Amino acid sequence: MSELYPHELSLGDVYFTPILAIFVLSFMAALITVVIFNKLKISRLFYAKQYVFLSIMVLYAVLIDSYFIRF
């Protein structure tokens, strides 16, 4: 029986796990969000900016995994 979603992503002859794509996309989205926070000066309200970046990245990873790339 064929699966609805693929278990690997292929780039040429190299296969990647979907979690790698999820982490790359969530890192990029979190980076864009943090740049927007810095432009709007919202980041000055946070005590530990590294933890905020990590939590935003995890949030994006969960959302991307839930709605776009099913792992």
CA distances in angstroms from 51 to 1, 14, 43, listed in the order given: 43, 33, 12
Please write the tens of the pLDDT for every residue from 7-53. 777 778 888 888 888 999 999 999 999 999 999 999 999 999 999 99
Instruction: Using the predicted structure, report yes or no on whether residue 1 has a pLDDT greater than 50.
Output: no
- pTM > 0.85: yes or no: no
| pLDDT for position 21 | 86
**How many Cα atoms sit within 13 Å of 13 on the Cβ side?**
0
